[in-house]
Structure 1
Amino acid sequence: MSIRQLPDTLINQIAAGEVVERPASVVKELVENALDAGATRVDVDLEEGGVRLVRIRDDGGGMAPGDLPLAVSRHATSKIASLDDLEAVATLGFRGEALPSIASVSRLRIVSRRAADEHGAALAVDGGRVGEVTPKPHPQGTTVEVRDLFFNVPARRKFLRAERTELGHIEEWLRSLALARPDVELRVSHNGKPARRYRGGGALFSDERLHETLGAEFAKHALRVEHEGAGLRLHGWIAQPAYSRASADQQYLYVNGRAIRDRSVAHAVRQAYADVLYHGRQPAYVLFLELDPHRVDVNVHPAKHEVRFRDARLVHDFVYRSLHDALAGTRAGLQQAPAQAPGTQPAFAAGAGAGGAVSWQPSARDQSGLALRVEEARAGYAALYGAPGTGGPGAPAGAVATPMPAHDDAAPPPLGYALAQLHGIYILSQCADGLVVVDMHAAHERIGYEKLKAAHDSEGLRTQPLLVPQTVAVSEREAEVAERESATLAELGFEVTRAGPQSLLLRAVPALLAEGDTEALLRDVLADLREHGASRRVAGARDELLSTMACHGAVRANRRLTVPEMNALLRQMEETERSGQCNHGRPTWARFGLSEIDRWFMRGR
């Protein structure tokens, strides 16, 4: 077959295949155009999950009548005028492909008016056939109506899912947008009925917007992140490890305000959580990364879902370090002030320190009644159970109770003071607002683990030369990475030289891991360096070994502890980084508020 020029209709439908996947794609492109036009309110009207109708109305700047035919022409845009503009895109849309692509596979109608115009103008496009511009009454702004998506491409329409599924994709994208643009009011209706409304006029860190998009539980466990350096700024929320997910359904990343997916950043987040998250669980986060537009290329994906960073390694390390340090501040008993629903008062107030450090503040009720409660508990336990550690004649099986020590301070520390040991496994402690239960083995395991890491880090990463250098067979790409990243490998404890096109000579390995499978570890490190420009494989393997050592050194179940020993463990937990979880990601403690305990026994009813 000879080479021929494709007709415009087929060109537009090929482009539509890249841009328009489903009704949610249409909503995304049209709403982004509205935001670029300066809209402060956007109405989204849908029928049959967007398949029958998508109508987007905005109060933005509008378009001149003569611009309407250009708006549905390929590669016609008001946002790019030069190569410099393309290299520093600051708008959500810029290619000029969305409207012509959508128009080629639907029945599209645009009505728009600028503030200075006497009336609006309308243009209809039916399956790519452009009509005439006609006068039309319209308030300032633009309305784009898309009917019968894929009516002229039956093969594409067959791949659409059920109405509820397609609507779900639209709602998820709008939720993502609402998180990033709380200043814009979004109103959604489906099949003629109001479905959702996001109020506008809010600030970026709006507690109300966080509640209405991701729910009270995420807001309750959210840690505020704010870090800046090397021309990068990362801010937003990450969920505490206790709030983990079975899937990655609450992971939102924005680069210069654009919602994107990036494997390198996702990898950095997973690495930051690696030490505190239970196996198989997913972290939840809403993160905004800001940098010079010249340092990120947004023109790498037809639907603008992905970007390419000019300094990918720097971005990866910056995100990892920022989140790693924030999570290090999640000490047991101290938690970030949850994002409160309007009218409520947080029980914990965030401090100004780095890493989400906070100060504990007792309520007025706690301050007034705490001393009396402590003294009553002390006297009661002394009478019931006798001397410390004996259990007393009336003590229930499996419980070791001891009198509470006298304390002069009106407010106890965050984890309170130990009351008893339950079944040789848990420490029961009275805190200002109720009861704290601590898994003593898990808690001691984390304390020992962090001490081992600190001790090892202070000595530096020592290497151990191999008695006989080891030849490692690798792919040519891996050999090139090893040659290029020899300095990085040396920092990780490997002395590696290239021995041939597909072979390496390993002369030294990290001393702590010398007895393990260092060849497999080296391959994993090379794979990370090739994929992400960075690797924590060595640190991860080291941490796994230290974690095992800490586990064996931690207090075991059924070991009876005295009150001073229990209190010493509680104080160490409050001072140890990441002490809210054990080395395997399990929680080390739980708090039960006095009001919750009152409900158990129906007090006050």
Structure 2
Amino acid sequence: MPASIQLLPDLLISQIAAGEVVDRPASVLKELLENALDAGSRSIDIQLEDGGVRLIRVSDDGEGIARDQLALALTRHATSKIGSLVDLERVGTLGFRGEALASVAAVARVTLTSRQRGGEGPAHAWRLAGETGAQPEPAALPAGTVVEMRDLYYNTPARRKFLRSANTEFAHCGETVRRIALAHPEVAFSLSHNGRVNLHLAPADLRARAAVILGDDFLGESRPLDAHAGSLRVFGYCALPAYSRARADAQYCYVNRRFVRDRLLAHALREAYADLLHGSRHPAYCLFVDIDPALVDVNVHPQKTEVRFRDSRAVHQFVFHAVERALASPLSAAPFALPAESPPAIAVAPADEPIGASRVPDPPAMRPWPTGQGALHVGERVGRDDYLAFVRSARSPEPETPACEAAEPLLGYALAQLHGVYVLAQNSQGLVIVDMHAAHERILYEKLKRAFDERQVAAQRLLIPAVFAADPLDVAAAEEHAAALEQLGFDLAPMGPRQLVVRSVPALLTAADPAALARALLGELRENGVSQILTTRQNEFLASLACQGAVRARRLLSLAEMNALLRQMEETERSGHCNHGRPTWMQISMTDLDRQFLRGR
């Protein structure tokens, strides 16, 4: 016989609801901190014991709760934050459901102590234990509220078995505090565990708070961002590819100051970094999206970690383009310093601002390289007069300009090559070291993208066509897709059942091996088809071509060729990193060099 339908007891209802809201101590802490912030707190103190399982005490200096409302605060579906459907559609607070304290009280021992600002009476504060039938008692407390939770899951031992060690639970609590503190830098936070202070944050601005929580390394390797479009704003910091991670553990994204793990925003950010990161690396960022509360639904997840935008496509495109533009800025003149003690780590120069407009005129195109000047390589004896002569010869002819008005290029002028791999240059700050293959790869990639977007892929006919052996499938593919290949800048045709001839290649790639380019192209065709190469996989395909066409290691360059590379780096978006996310250059200042060689001591 089936069981009869009956109403559940209120306690059991609250314990079931607690399963959605309270899955570990960090969940309790999150709810309590959000309540404290909604109450206008400027200082919040958190005390934990045994990872928060034995004790979570949150003290704030907020508005406080009146004596006759203490019991309501522990009642399900009781809240001061919404009163109508209109309020629910424009939620402007962090917490709003009115379930958190009731759910916590159902699975732990809760005590609520509060005093309203400007309260009257002999004690001015009242304490209420979260037990059935309990009445408020007088207590001593400055203005604000103290919520104390003890013995989580004491009455539901089955759930307690799923908790981890105290250290693990405390780690989750610490991360919860950091996430919330990052979004509220104007609020002071103090966190202690088992009587030991673990974190103390004074009120600050966003940059200072990010430096404490995310580290100076993060800020040093990041670009600031602040973009507006109507009521939509995105701001914060995007880390450069050099700061990418093996795991997605440095990604902080907020909507109206609420930490979220939203798939739409994650996709927009991943796409913005697509041209800068190796496939297995994860970007790091701390970004805030501010939007009209009426245009976002925060009530789609029990723990409020997901949101739904009314116009999701517009938000996606806005965030994507804002971050992409921030990361695409030309090179920055700001160098990184070497460590004060030991010299092994040379930091990558970041790229924060476009370089100034005043620089030497643009050099000839990268390829074919300029000729007519002798190369100067490491190992040659060079006197001062020789050096001044080749620096003068590296500059393009220009009218006489007073010395005080001459502007030196950001990357300076080339001095030599090191092992045919690195270009060494001198600028006003000191020594610049450039990975010539990585830098040229980025330059070619950006030019190819622009040419494809504008449908102006210029083809260069080869003086001597390149013939190479190919299997019948490649021959068939070249014959079938001849029109598409021509659109890509290639004239590739069969010379027999097992031979192909390359007569033209894209003009930007004339330095590459034509046969190798053709093989790479045919491999992409066979694996992905023409339609994907021209649409969804276009950037991956162009990156592959750029890698094939970039100048190779061990190739000796003339000074003019080296300087042409430096000038084009200064003009190219994202040139601080190659297509795989590796840095293309670094700066060592004279101060760093003097310190390493103990000059002046």
TM bucket (normalised to shorter chain) is 0.7 to 0.9
1:597 Cα offset (Å):
2.7
Answering whether residue 272 of structure 2 is matched by residue 272 of structure 1, we say yes
Equivalences for 1:122-141 in 2 at 5 Å?
122-126=127-131, 129-141=132-144
**Any residues of structure 2 matched to 1:537-552 within 5 Å, and which?**
539-552=535-548
Q: Report matched runs for 1:275-290 at 5 Å.
A: 275-290=275-290
Give the structure 2 partner of residue 381 of structure 1: none
Name the % identity: 51
Aligned to 2:172: 169
Secondary structure of the 2:454 match is helix
TM-fit CA distance, 1:349: 13
Could you tell me how far apart the structure 1 residues matched to 2:433 and 2:376 are? 21
Shift of 1:328: 1.1
- 1:4 matched residue in structure 2: 6
Q: CA deviation at 1:24?
A: 0.9
Q: CA deviation at 1:148?
A: 0.8
Residue in structure 1 matching 2:148, options 136, 140, 145: 145
The one-letter code sitting in structure 2 at the alignment partner of 1:196 is: L
Q: CA deviation at 1:50?
A: 1.0
Q: Give the structure 2 partner of residue 454 of structure 1.
A: 450
Aligned match of 1:382: none
Name the CA shift for 1:165/1:148 in 2 (closer, same or farther; >3 Å). same
For residues 509-588 of structure 1, what are the structure 2 equivalents within 5 Å?
Answer: 515=525, 539-588=535-584
Greater alpha carbon shift after TM alignment, 452-461 vs 65-74: 452-461
What TM-score, normalized by structure 1, do the two folds share? 0.77
Q: CA deviation at 1:270?
A: 0.6
Which amino acid is 1:45 matched to? Q
* Residues 225-236 of structure 1 mapped to structure 2, 5 A cutoff: 225-236=225-236
* Residue matched to 2:302: 302
Counterpart of 1:414, as a letter, is L
Distance 1:19 1:155 in 2: 17
Q: Distance in 2 between matches of 1:538 and 1:287?
A: 32
- Aligned counterpart for 1:196 among listed residues 170, 177, 199: 199
Distance 1:392 1:220 in 2: 32
Q: Displacement, 1:412?
A: 3.0
Give distance in 2, aligned partners of 1:393 and 1:304: 64
AA partner of residue 113 (structure 1): R
Superposed displacement of residue 598, structure 1:
3.2
Assess, with a 3 A threshold, how the Cα gap between structure 1 residues 35 and 219 changes in structure 2: closer, same or farther: same
Amino acid at match of 2:192: S
Aligned-residue offset at 1:142:
0.6
**CA distance in structure 1 between the partners assigned to 2:565 and 2:456 by the alignment:** 28
Partner of residue 97, structure 1: 99
Structure 1 runs of 4+ aligned residues shifted over 6 Å read 347-350, 511-514, 519-522
Greater relative contact order (Cα < 8 A, sep 6+): 2
Give the 5 Å matches for 1:85-484. 85-118=87-120, 119-126=124-131, 129-200=132-203, 202-203=204-205, 205=206, 207-329=207-329, 331-334=330-333, 356-359=352-355, 388-389=374-375, 391=377, 404-406=390-392, 412-459=408-455
Which is greater in Rg? 2
RMSD: 3.2
- Report the alpha carbon displacement of residue 602 of structure 1 after superposing the two structures with TM: 3.6
Q: SS in structure 2 opposite 1:405?
A: helix
One-letter amino acid matched to 1:302:
P
Secondary structure at the counterpart of residue 253 of structure 1: strand
Whether the 8 Å CA contact 2:355–2:570 is kept in 1: the answer is no
CA contact (8 A) 1:348 1:359 kept: no
Return the match for 2:77 from 55, 69, 75: 75
On the 8 A contact 1:391/1:402 being kept in 2, the answer is no
Match of 2:503 in 1: none
Q: How far off its partner does 1:593 sit?
A: 2.5
- Equivalent AA in structure 2 for residue 563 of structure 1: L
CA distance in 1, matches of 2:59, 2:133: 21
Partner of 1:54: 56
Is the contact made by 1:124 and 1:130 (CA closer than 8 Å) also made in structure 2? no
Give the drift of 1:549. 2.1
| Distance in structure 2 (CA, Å) of the matches to 1:411 and 1:598 | 25
Please give the alpha-carbon distance, in whole angstroms, between the structure 2 residues aligned to 1:395 and 1:552. Answer: 34
Q: 1:540 deviation in Å?
A: 4.7
- What is the distance in 2 between the residues matched to 1:538 and 1:295? 35
Q: Mark the CA change 1:72 to 1:393 in structure 2 (over 3 Å): closer, same or farther.
A: closer
Listed one character per residue, the Cα deviations across residues 194-233 of structure 1 (whole Å, up to 9, x for unaligned) are 2211112x33x3x321211111100111211111115321
Q: Tell me the equivalent position of 1:589.
A: 585
Residue in 1 that maps onto 2:86: 84
Question: 2: distance between equivalents of 1:521 and 1:132?
Answer: 72
